[in-house]
Structure 1
Amino acid sequence: MPETHTATTAGSRSALARYVFAATLVRSADGGAVVAIVLLAHVSGQPGWIAGLLGASITAPHLLGPFIARRLDTARDGRKVIAASAVAHGTLLGVAGLLLPVTWAVVPSLLLIVSGLFGPMLTGGVSSRLPSIAGPSQKSQRRAQSWDVASYGLSGTLGPAAVAWLAAAASPLVATLALAAAAVVGAGAVLALPRQSPLDDPGAVPSPGRTLVTIRRSGPLRRTLVLTVVVAFSVAALPIYAVAVAPSLGGAALAGSLVASYGIGTLAGSGLLMVRPLHGDADKLTGVLAVVVPAALLLVIATTNFTAALVAFGAAGIANSLFFAATLAARSEYAPPEARGQIFIWVGALKIAAGSAGTAVAGALIGGTAWLPVAIVAALSTAAAAVCLVERSRDRT
C-alpha cells in the first residue's frame, strides 16, 4: 500500500508539472498577444487608433468564448478541444502578424477576432482540467489551484516580457511569431496531460444560456461570479493609478516598477498558497478574501512615498492572488460535472471583460484626483463582498 500511494503521489506531481508547463505556454501566448500586435502595428506605420482596435480585436471576443465552450464538456477527450484551440489561436495570430505590414488592417483584424474567440479555452478551459489532475483530497486540490494561480501570474509576466525583449532584440514580428509558436507547442503539451473521463451522457451538457441559469440558481457559483467580476473591475484601476501617481513619487518611469511590484505580489501569493493552501469552505473564503482586496487598494492610495507604494502594490497582488485561488476552488467544488468547462470559461470571460471595463472607467475618472477611481472601486468591492456574505449567511439558516 505505501508503495502504491508513493507511485500515485509521484504520478500526480508529474501530471501537475506537465499541467503548469502547458498552461503557462498557452496562456503566455494569449497574454502577450495584445502587446505584440500593438507594437507591430506601430512599427508598420499604423495610427494609434488602429493599433488600439487591433488590440481590442484579440481581447473583446473573449466574451463570446462561452458560446463555443459547450464542446469542451461534450467531447470524449477535452484535451483535443483545448489543443485545437491553442493551434487555431497561434496560427491565426501568426498569420495576422505576417499580413499586418502588407495589407489593409481590416484583414488581420478579422483574423485576430477569430483568434480571440479561442482565448477563453486557454484560460478557463485549461483550468477546468485541473480537478481531474490534482487528486481527490481537498488539500491536493487547493495546492494544485495555487500552481494554477502561479501559471496565470507567470504567463501574465512572461508573455509581455518576452514580447518586449524579442521586439527590442529582433522585431515585433519575430515576437508575434514566437507567441504563435508557443501556442502550438503548448497544444502538444496539453495533449500530454492525463485524459479526463468523459461524461456518460453528453446530451446532459447544458447550452451556454442554461449554464448561466445554473450559475444564477447556485448561491456559491452566483456569488463567485459576481465577486470575480467586481474584483477584476476594481484591480484594473491599479495600472492607471500607477501612471497617474508615479510623477509625484519621483518620476513617470516609476509606474512600471509599481505595476511590476503588483505582479511580484501575485507570484508571492501563489507561493504562499503552495506552502499553505487555503482550507475551509470555498464560498466563505471567496467572500472574505473579496474584502481583503479592497482593503489592499485603500492601502495603495494611503501611501505617500515610493517605497511604501511598492509595498502596497505588492500587498494588493498578494491579496488578489489569494482571492483568485478561492474563486478557482469555488468553481471546482460547486460546478456540476456536466457544465464544469463552461462555468470556468463563463467566469473567466466575464472577468476579462470586467477588467477591460475597469481600465476604461478608471482612465475616464482619473482626472485631477488620482486616488478617486481607486477609492470608488474599493467601495464597490467592499459592498459586493458584504452583500454576498450576508446572502450566504441567510442561505445557511
Structure 2
Amino acid sequence: MRPSTDHPVDEPGWGPLARYVIAATLARTSDGGAVVAIVLMVNTSGGSGWLAGALGACITAPHLLGPFVARSLDTARDSRTVIAAASLAHGTTLAAAVLLYPHTHPAVTAVLLTISGLFGPLLTGGISSRLPAIAGPSQRRQRRAQGWDVATYGISGTVGPTLVAAVSAWASPATAALTLAAGCYIAAAVIRFLPYAPAPGKTADVPRPLRTLTGILASGPLRRTLYLTVTVAFSVAALPVTAVSSTHTLGVSAAAAGILTAAYGLGNLAGSAGVMIRPSHTEADRLTTHLAATVAATLLLITLTPSFPLAVTAYAAAGIANAYFFAATLAARNEYAPDNARGQIFVWVGALKITAGSAGTAAAGALISTSAALPLLLAVALTIASTLLSLAERRHNRRYNAPCGPASPHTQPENGRPHPTGPTDRIHDCSNRG
C-alpha cells in the first residue's frame, strides 16, 4: 500500500475517517495508559509511592509545554510526518524508560518519561487538528467526525488503563508498557495514510506559541472556549474522587465506586454516539456555553441523588453532557481558529485542559475530607460562574458591535470551510472589540 496522495480530498469517504479513528485511539490509548503502567511498574518492583507518583507526573506534566512544540504542525509541509514522528518518539522513549528502569538510576527514567510526555499533546490536540482536512468542508460532516473524535478519547481512556491492568496481571507492568509502545508504532504507520493537507501558509506567517495564546485571549469565541473548557475539565475531574467518597453515604461498598465511574464512561461514549448520529447545527460559541451549563446541572444532580441507582443514572448523564460539550469545543476550535495557527490552538486548549483536570483531581482530594459533596458543589459554582461570564460577554459584544457595518469577511467560507455567522463574529470588524 502507498500513502495517500498529496492532494486534499474535498469529500472523503469513510475510509480516511476510519483510519483516523484507529490511529487516534491507538496513540491516545498509549498516552492515557502509560501513567498506570509506570505506577504499577514502580510499585511491583518495591519502589516507594512517592517515586511512583513522581515518575507518573513526568509523563503528564510536560503536556503543559506541548504548545511550545506544536508550531511545527502549522509550519510543516506535511503535518502527518510531524504527528507520526511524535507517535514514534513517544513509544520509543516510553519503551526505553521501562527497559532501563531496573538497571539505571530513576533520574534516567524520569528524563526519558519527560521526553515521552512532551510528545503527548501532539497525540491528543495535535491529531484532532487533522480532522477538518479529513471530514471535508460540510459542517455536518465535521461535527459528526468530532463525535468520533470524542469517542476515541473515551475509548482510549477506558481501554488504556484496562489493558495495562490485564497485561500486568498476565505478565508484568513492563510488558504492558511495551504493548502501549507498540500501539504507538502502529498509530504512526496509520497516520501516514491519512489524507494530505497543505501547509496553511509561509512559516513566517505562523505565530509563535505565546502570540498564539494572546490571539486566543483576544478572540471572544476562542477565549470563551478556552475558559469554559478549563473550568469543565477542572469540574469533572472531581468525579472519580467523589465516586469513592460517596459510596458510604449511598450505603454501598467502596468497590461500587467503579460502577459509578463506569457509568460516566459509558455515558461519555453514548454522548459521542449522539453527536455522530445527530450533530448540532447551533453556532459553536453559543453551543459551548449552553452545554457547559448542562454539565453543571448534571454535577449538581449527582450531589442531590439519594440512592445508588439514581447516582448511577446521574453519573451517566454527566458523561453524556460532557461528551456533547467536548464535541462543541472541538467545533469551536476548528471554526474560529485562523488557518495559520489551528494546530497550535488545538494543542493550547488541550494542554490547559489536561492541566486543569489534574488540578481538579488534586483539589477534590484536598476537599473531600471536609465534605463528600464539597468538591462537586465547588465544581458546580465554578462552571455556572464561567457560563454566566460567557453569556455576559456575548450579550455585551452584541450590544457593543451592533452599530458596526456588515459582517466580517471571516464569516464567509474560506477554502471551502464554513465559518459560523452571527453577532459574535463581528469582533473582527470594530477594531477587534470583544
Give the shorter-chain TM-score range.
over 0.9
1:181-220 deviations in Å (ceiling 9; x for gaps): 1011101111110011112322100000110111011100
Q: Distance in 2 between matches of 1:261 and 1:280?
A: 28
Structure 2 equivalent of residue 90 of structure 1: 91
Q: Distance in 2 between matches of 1:336 and 1:233?
A: 27
Greater share of helix: 1
Query: Could you tell me whether the CA contact under 8 Å between 2:231 and 2:356 is conserved in 1?
Result: yes
Q: What amino acid is the match of 1:377?
A: A
Structure 1 equivalent of residue 307 of structure 2: 305
For 1:236-385, list aligned pairs within 5 A: 236-249=237-250, 250-385=252-387
Structure 1 equivalent of residue 216 of structure 2: 215
Query: Could you tell me whether the CA contact under 8 Å between 1:41 and 1:101 is conserved in 2?
Result: no
Query: Could you tell me whether the CA contact under 8 Å between 1:77 and 1:198 is conserved in 2?
Result: yes
Q: Distance in 2 between matches of 1:211 and 1:235?
A: 27
Q: What amino acid is the match of 1:24?
A: T
Structure 2 equivalent of residue 5 of structure 1: none
Query: Could you tell me whether the CA contact under 8 Å between 2:241 and 2:365 is conserved in 1?
Result: yes
The alpha carbon displacement at 1:107 in A equals 1.1
Query: Could you tell me whether the CA contact under 8 Å between 1:153 and 1:267 is conserved in 2?
Result: yes
The alpha carbon displacement at 1:9 in A equals 9.1
Q: Does 1:231 align with 2:232?
A: yes
Query: Could you tell me whether the CA contact under 8 Å between 1:261 and 1:311 is conserved in 2?
Result: yes
Query: Could you tell me whether the CA contact under 8 Å between 1:57 and 1:113 is conserved in 2?
Result: yes
Query: Could you tell me whether the CA contact under 8 Å between 1:12 and 1:135 is conserved in 2?
Result: no
Question: When the two structures are superposed, what TM-score results if normalisation uses the length of structure 1?
Answer: 0.97
For 1:28-43, list aligned pairs within 5 A: 28-43=29-44
Q: Distance in 2 between matches of 1:246 and 1:98?
A: 39
Query: Could you tell me whether the CA contact under 8 Å between 2:75 and 2:201 is conserved in 1?
Result: no
Query: Could you tell me whether the CA contact under 8 Å between 2:12 and 2:136 is conserved in 1?
Result: no
Q: Distance in 1 between matches of 2:314 and 2:361?
A: 19
The alpha carbon displacement at 1:358 in A equals 0.4
Task: Give aligned pairs, total.
Answer: 390
Query: Could you tell me whether the CA contact under 8 Å between 2:10 and 2:137 is conserved in 1?
Result: no
Structure 2 equivalent of residue 202 of structure 1: 203
Query: Could you tell me whether the CA contact under 8 Å between 2:235 and 2:379 is conserved in 1?
Result: yes
Give the RMSD, CA atoms, in angstroms: 1.1
The alpha carbon displacement at 1:243 in A equals 0.9
Pick one of 387, 393, 396 that aligns with 1:394. 396
Q: What amino acid is the match of 2:311?
A: A
Structure 2 equivalent of residue 74 of structure 1: 75
The alpha carbon displacement at 1:145 in A equals 0.5
Query: Could you tell me whether the CA contact under 8 Å between 2:11 and 2:135 is conserved in 1?
Result: no
Question: When the two structures are superposed, what TM-score results if normalisation uses the length of structure 2?
Answer: 0.88
Which shows bigger deviation, 111-120 or 241-250? 241-250
2:194 partner SS: coil
